[in-house]
Structure 1
Amino acid sequence: MFTFCSLYAQKSLPLDTLKLKEAKDMLADDYGNLYIYKNKDFSLTKYDSLGKQIGKMMLTVPYKIQTVQNPLSVPLFSENGQELKFVDQNMNEIQRVDFKQKFGFIKMAYAEDLQQLWLLDESTKRLIQYNFRNETIINSYPFDASFDDLMDLLVYENKIYILTRNSIRVYTFKFEKIFEASVENGKRFRRENENILVITPNTILKYIPEKEMVKIFQDPDVQIVDKNTLSYFAIKANKLYLYSLEKNKEIQPQTESEPQSKDTQQEVKPSEEKTSEPDTQEKKLEEKTQEIENKNPGESSIQKLIEEISTLQSAGD
């Protein structure tokens, strides 16, 4: 069951509207830190949850931020510069990988970990698995798909995820397409363990393997949205809002209680009937005794009474 964010508590965060103005993209790590990218001056600025600036980078060409899930090593790819760089928690560059000398034209790069990259080489139509630590190509797969409007690339569990501006496609390494769906204004992927999410300007969708895309967040008034493992973060009218992912606990009806109460009633009922039998028997004996005495007021009726009692007791047994 998926619920839209309108059902969650909305909270405004103390980030200056000037810091959010002209923001091209925003990402949130699991510590609540925010990364604001501005295309106007190619700047990437990191803020903590209270709006305090932690670090800032001034870039010379446009870069695409892949993910900030590991704030100690944030990968940024530049198609224009044909390079990928990693920055640390203070936005200092710690690693740079240059593709110009070794490859044709890299259209998209995906950093799987701190050793391996997946590269889409548009000039050779190949998907390349590359160890950038020792500069060796591990594998190369023919990939003759369209590179038009390509927005993001993700490789996970032997599946290749391609996001364009208007669609998501999933392939095997044999270039077999196993899923395709329309996506409006796709921006990037986000992977949370085995879950694959697609981020758009105002919507977040979850991929149900080989079945469908399900919306887990949607707000038409939002300009930029992202999420970490605890919350959604959204920029709306140059203000930053947080939507908690924690749901209110609901009391579920105990469907098994009815049969249990019926069983209890069935157990109690026979014991109630047993308890009432002696009272009824005593009443009948009293009535019979009174009847005998009324019929024979002048003589002793003990013998007849004993006989009648014995008869009633036998009948009761």
Structure 2
Amino acid sequence: MKLLSFIFALVFCSLFAQKALPLDTLKLKEAKDMLADDYGNLYIYKNKDFSFTKYDSLGKQIGKMMLTVPYKVQTVQNPLSVPLFSENAQEMKFVDQNLNEIQKVDFKQKFGFIKMAYAEDLQQLWLLDDSTKRLIQYNFRNETTINSYPFDASIDDLMDILVYENKVYVLTRKYIRVYSLKFEKLFEAPLENGKRFRRENEFILVITNNSILKYIPEKEMVEIFEDPDAQIVDKNTLSYFEIKANKLYLYNLENNKEAKPQTEPDPKQKATEQDVEKSAEKTAEPNSAEGKLEKKTQEIESKNPAESSLQRLIEDTSEIQAAGI
């Protein structure tokens, strides 16, 4: 068993080109969540003191926020405007590349109780209002409601929502569910320790505690990264990241490409190959008349090279025919 574990470790490292990053262990200790942007910057959220800290790829601190209540960091894909939602404070903050607050949207004065919020872009939010059981599309720039849809927001262990192309993605700790805007369930699949969504163009990913899954529309969830020993995992467009044993590791996506299936041979080439095989099979039959004739010809030529091979061949052919072959 130990040998198998060692072999698995070697294969895993060779496939993913593991690289330890220079981030102090003390900075990773007690981290509740970790996110990485496409510039290699890392964002660490600690639930113990509600701190949110940004580091560059060398471990140098760029910015830090000390929050008073728990916040959920939605995404850092746009480091110039990072959204954070607090169910306790009933608000959403937007912070810049140095984690300075640039805008705050207060839901208390305009809505009932917002269970979860999703920032679609720099103007629109999608809000799950638990008091009215509605999904609200809200333009926070001009403070207007664009649309409102009946939607039961009373979902146990709700972790995240995402709205894309008229579909509502709901993530809990144990399930992913996809609905239409009419609250019709289109897809459901079990998972473990769901944490948040990540959208990369048209692809929807699910980040869990130790794995990353890709949604195949209305078919299945495919695991694209997994490490049972990881405490936290995340990815950007170039790499996977994980915290394991309070150390940060990076894995290159280029070493995780799937092998391409072999293509079918050209029909003409395939037909030619079949004809050659049939011809070879036909020549290889020693008990046929043609086979015996060929064998006899070779014997005649080897015994009497000076004699007329044609005459002897005719005579022996007559003998073979007389024998009833």
* TM-score bucket of the superposed structures, by smaller chain: 0.7 to 0.9
Deviation at 1:148, TM superposition (A): 1.6
Q: Residues 191-243 of structure 1, C-alpha deviation per residue, up to 9 Å, x if partnerless?
A: 00000000001010100000000100111000000000000000000000000
Is this contact kept in 1: 2:174–2:192, CA < 8 A? yes
SS at match of 2:26: helix
Aligned residue number for residue 203 of structure 2: 195
1:242 aligns with 2:242: no
Is this contact kept in 1: 2:95–2:101, CA < 8 A? yes
- The RMSD of aligned alpha carbons is 2.7
Aligned residue number for residue 282 of structure 1: none
1:120 aligns with 2:128: yes
2:152 aligned to which of 127, 131, 144? 144
Aligned residue number for residue 182 of structure 1: 190
Counterparts of residues 24-63 of structure 1 (less than 5 Å): 24-63=32-71
Q: Which amino acid aligns with 1:143?
A: F
Q: Residues 146-180 of structure 1, C-alpha deviation per residue, up to 9 Å, x if partnerless?
A: 32210001000000000011101000011100000
Provide the rounded CA distance (Å) in 1 between the counterparts of 2:247 and 2:256: 26
1:213 aligned to which of 210, 221, 235? 221
User: Residue 192 and residue 5 in structure 1: after superposition, are their counterparts in 2 closer, same or farther (change >3 A)?
Assistant: farther
Counterparts of residues 37-116 of structure 1 (less than 5 Å): 37-116=45-124
Deviation at 1:145, TM superposition (A): 4.8
Provide the rounded CA distance (Å) in 1 between the counterparts of 2:222 and 2:75: 21
User: Residue 137 and residue 244 in structure 1: after superposition, are their counterparts in 2 closer, same or farther (change >3 A)?
Assistant: same
**Count of aligned positions:** 268
Gaps (5+ residues) in structure 2? Answer: 1-10, 277-305, 309-325
Provide the rounded CA distance (Å) in 2 between the counterparts of 1:131 and 1:90: 25
Provide the rounded CA distance (Å) in 2 between the counterparts of 1:212 and 1:233: 24
1:20 aligned to which of 10, 24, 28? 28
**TM-score, scaled relative to structure 1:** 0.78
Provide the rounded CA distance (Å) in 2 between the counterparts of 1:251 and 1:22: 41
Q: Which amino acid aligns with 1:148?
A: D
Larger radius of gyration: 1
Q: Which amino acid aligns with 1:161?
A: Y
Aligned residue number for residue 155 of structure 1: 163
Counterparts of residues 162-177 of structure 1 (less than 5 Å): 162-177=170-185
**TM-score, scaled relative to structure 2:** 0.76
User: Residue 16 and residue 155 in structure 1: after superposition, are their counterparts in 2 closer, same or farther (change >3 A)?
Assistant: same
Aligned residue number for residue 10 of structure 1: 18
Deviation at 1:55, TM superposition (A): 0.6
Provide the rounded CA distance (Å) in 2 between the counterparts of 1:5 and 1:123: 48
Deviation at 1:255, TM superposition (A): 7.1
Deviation at 1:254, TM superposition (A): 8.5
Deviation at 1:253, TM superposition (A): 7.2
Question: Is the deviation greater in 138-147 or in 99-108?
Answer: 138-147
Q: Which amino acid aligns with 2:112?
A: G
User: Residue 11 and residue 142 in structure 1: after superposition, are their counterparts in 2 closer, same or farther (change >3 A)?
Assistant: same
Provide the rounded CA distance (Å) in 1 between the counterparts of 2:117 and 2:188: 21
Gaps (5+ residues) in structure 1? Answer: 267-287, 292-317
Deviation at 1:256, TM superposition (A): 5.4
Is this contact kept in 2: 1:5–1:243, CA < 8 A? no
Q: Residues 98-128 of structure 1, C-alpha deviation per residue, up to 9 Å, x if partnerless?
A: 0000000000000000100000000110000
Provide the rounded CA distance (Å) in 2 between the counterparts of 1:254 and 1:86: 49
Q: Residues 231-284 of structure 1, C-alpha deviation per residue, up to 9 Å, x if partnerless?
A: 000000000000000138879979759949x79xx9xxxxxxxxxxxxxxxxxx
Q: Which amino acid aligns with 1:238?
A: N
Provide the rounded CA distance (Å) in 2 between the counterparts of 1:28 and 1:84: 20
